[in-house]
Structure 1
Amino acid sequence: MTAELREEVHAAARRARVAAEDLVLATRERKDAALREMAAALRERSEEILKANTADLEAGRAAGLTENMLDRLALSEQRIDGVAEGLLTVAGLADPVGEVLRGGLLPNGLEMRQVRVPLGVVGMVYEARPNVTVDAAGLALKSGNAALLRGSSSAENSNTALVAVLRDALEAVGLPADCVQLLPCQDRASVNYLITARGLVDLVIPRGGAGLISTVVANATVPTIETGVGNVHVYVDAAADLDDAEAIVLNSKTRRTSVCNSAESLLVHADIADVFVPRIAEALHAAGVTVHADPVFAGLSGTEVVAATDEDWDTEYLSLDIAAKVVGTLDEAIAHINEHGTGHTEAIVTSDVKAARRFTTRVDAAAVMVNASTGFTDGAEFGMGAEIGISTQKLHARGPMGLAELTSTKWVVWGEGHVRPTS
């Protein structure tokens, strides 16, 4: 069975390579037509998709999945409409393929250009979230890449239905259905066969929990981009507008707890702690949030809190929990964030421009917010239409990954019989 599974994954990769070679010749018009067809098909076949999703949700509840995991897994007419709209937005974006980044005419007459080109075959390994299936397929297609999708077994029915719809849409406009393929998900070995398919797969992007991401990054021989884990902080500075601060903290924490841009830690400057801590503690309590507080925050809170442990400062809760601490200075807040953060998103609430500039300069993260909710770290919110993930590493891509991040570059040099002089 293991040998058969390995061949199944590698055969899919070989088909993807053939499809990618066809796709690289596709015009923007053809790719955009495919994206529009995919969006229309998702809406037209939503009943079929929701039926499959219901089967996954029922199985998930029976298996004891948490409410947050079930929320990630769940589809609805509204969510299907949202991912379809994302495909239409991607169709409206400029095609990155062929974009000239730099170049010109050299003194010797050689004409050179550095242009964007597709990566080729892109593998995705992800948990729950069937919306990722559509986002990844759409972004890969527009950027000229074939997508190999390895979702989780908890979303098998949903992903199977979605990929069937997407493949039919591709064929309807004359593009290879193998531009989008779903890999087996019942055996974890399929992940290993994907991430070690060097020469067949050009890039693998893991998207999910810390365990999944670390496993892929540690074991892959195919290049990877690390994404997702978000121990996200909101720091309320001494010069913060407290109304803004309360709104931003609550939105960052409670808007949707199961996503990686949800705030997991709150830092409050000591100069405003007497006033702001009781206020925000009460607001969080009213919103159903459990506060894991340091002794100073706990002493000022005026409401029920839980004593924070050392582990709390490094925890991505993905639930209605938040770690909270009072800090003496801006630099103490920055040091805490750089020690415990995961390089995803960090926010400062302040009316002090110098403090904001110091924070944005010294905090090491893919996205830094000033007087704005951490919930804005999202490809759609950044104008990308959708995202294939949020990179927390520093090479090639960082932050929400859209079309440009799914390309590489090629130098194209034109000569007229040029030869390099011998030394």
Structure 2
Amino acid sequence: MTSLNQIGQQAKTAAHKLALLDTSTKNHGLQSMANALIANQATILEANKRDLANANEMPKKFLDRLMLNEQRITDMANGLRSITQLSDPTAQIDRGWISDDGLQIIQRRVPLGVIGIIFEARPNVTADATGLTFKSGNAVILRGGKEALQTNLAIAKVLREALVQDNLPADAIQMVSDPSHESAQEMMNLTDYIDVLIPRGGRGLIQRVVKTATIPVIETGAGNCHVYIDKDADLKMATAITVNAKVQRPSVCNAAEKLLIHKNVAKQYLPTIAHALIDHSVQLRGDQTACEIVPEIAPATTEDWDTEYNDLIMAVKVVDDLDEAINHINNHSTHHSETIITNSLERGRQFQEQIDSACVYVNASTRFTDGGMFGFGAEIGISTQKLHARGPMGLHQLTTIKYEITGNGQVRK
């Protein structure tokens, strides 16, 4: 088993080579990796079957994340191909100017270097992360959960072999084969080689990495997302958006977990919306008023308002006004994605201005918080912090800036 120090050294060397590649070469490598995924899908699916067989005690909501099929492999390949169509940030100069001392100063986009990613049972992350880091000129060290180990190793092997065929550095992609907590902890402290660490998974994983890593961390993922139905919302729109935000794919971080509704329309609207959710097998938990309006709603606990369910469960609260909704969301959300359903432009703007989350919608589902939906190609994750990157993270967010200064003999006086 290759040690993490050796993996780090290899990734650092590969990162230096990647930073020198032109856009055309990187795009060719991405196409080769996409073709290799399709050509080797039988091998990948066989590895995935082994992981699924070993994961029979996992909750059903996590099995959906782990499971691959031909369509999901095709989607991964198409994600890599879509990245070739995106502008290469490292080929850009942000700006340039001449200082008062006659120095020519250029601000250029450059890769971060080596990016470490610790993630759970989402094998598509292996391909998505590889595509974005490779196009932005970064090497990546991936450490997935034990549940997806065989699948992740199979995907990484296919991608690495595609790079070898193109005479590109295979060590740009490194998969840690040891899924133990000890390897994760060691990776969190690999300061000599990893420039930034990105955790992707549940709140427990993310907080463990944030609290213990000695490497800079970009916090991502946890999504206690809210839908707020304002007093003048359209009932048909409110129902459609709430159902989509909750049930279209309940196990992901941009699925809505909470429904807030204005007291003026709660008696009229909540029965329709609640039964539409119940028809999709959603278990509802609510405050006292919500339970009185819809008897099928079970009483919520204090913990419900802060819980990310990743399941067909939703908590419901009746609020007095927009200000109470905003205050509740800012106090209980994970600052991921929130939406208001309203016919008032003024209240929609107030919601967007005062909600402290990465993505704030008016009259649209929270499910759109996604790098692909935003036109970024496959995303590396959704940042819920404020430093460096926030929201869906695409190519641009995987770069930093470098100043190149040229003079003709100037000295500072």
For the pair 1:344 / 2:354, whether they are aligned, the reply is no
CA contact 2:290–2:297 (8 Å) conserved in 1: no
Report the counterpart of residue 352 of structure 2 in structure 1: 360
Equivalent of 2:400, from 408, 413, 417? Answer: 408
CA contact 2:224–2:306 (8 Å) conserved in 1: yes
Report the counterpart of residue 243 of structure 1 in structure 2: 236
Aligned-partner Cα distance in 1 for 2:23–2:95: 21
CA contact 1:10–1:193 (8 Å) conserved in 2: no
Report the counterpart of residue 102 of structure 1 in structure 2: 95
Aligned-partner Cα distance in 2 for 1:318–1:186: 23
5+ residue gaps, structure 2: none
Report the counterpart of residue 254 of structure 1 in structure 2: 247
Report the counterpart of residue 225 of structure 1 in structure 2: 218
RMSD, aligned α-carbons: 1.0
Report the counterpart of residue 80 of structure 2 in structure 1: 87
Deviation at 1:103, TM superposition (A): 2.7
Summarize deviations over 1:65-115 as a string: whole Å, max 9, x none: 011110010111111111111111111101111422233112322111111
Q: Percent identity?
A: 48
Q: Which stretches of structure 1, 4 residues or more, deviate above 4 A after TM superposition?
A: none
Partner amino acid, structure 1, of 2:205: L
CA contact 2:153–2:177 (8 Å) conserved in 1: no
Aligned-partner Cα distance in 2 for 1:162–1:196: 26
Report the counterpart of residue 282 of structure 1 in structure 2: 275
Equivalent of 1:374, from 366, 371, 382? Answer: 366
Equivalent of 1:37, from 23, 32, 35? Answer: 32
> Could you state the TM-score of these two structures normalised by the residue count of structure 2?
0.99
Partner amino acid, structure 2, of 1:368: V
Deviation at 1:241, TM superposition (A): 0.9
Summarize deviations over 1:266-286 as a string: whole Å, max 9, x none: 000011111101111111111
CA contact 1:86–1:386 (8 Å) conserved in 2: yes
Aligned length: 413
Report the counterpart of residue 301 of structure 2 in structure 1: 309
For the pair 1:144 / 2:137, whether they are aligned, the reply is yes
Secondary structure of the residue aligned to 1:199 is: coil
More displaced, 210-219 or 101-110? Answer: 101-110
> Could you state the TM-score of these two structures normalised by the residue count of structure 1?
0.96
For the pair 1:54 / 2:49, whether they are aligned, the reply is yes
Partner amino acid, structure 2, of 1:25: L
Report the counterpart of residue 158 of structure 1 in structure 2: 151
Summarize deviations over 1:40-83 as a string: whole Å, max 9, x none: 1101111111111011111101xx10111100101111111111
CA contact 1:146–1:180 (8 Å) conserved in 2: yes
For the pair 1:206 / 2:206, whether they are aligned, the reply is no
Secondary structure of the residue aligned to 2:90 is: coil
5+ residue gaps, structure 1: none
For the pair 1:395 / 2:357, whether they are aligned, the reply is no
Aligned-partner Cα distance in 2 for 1:353–1:305: 31
Secondary structure of the residue aligned to 1:97 is: helix
Aligned-partner Cα distance in 2 for 1:92–1:29: 11
CA contact 2:144–2:179 (8 Å) conserved in 1: no
Partner amino acid, structure 1, of 2:247: T
Aligned-partner Cα distance in 2 for 1:82–1:308: 38
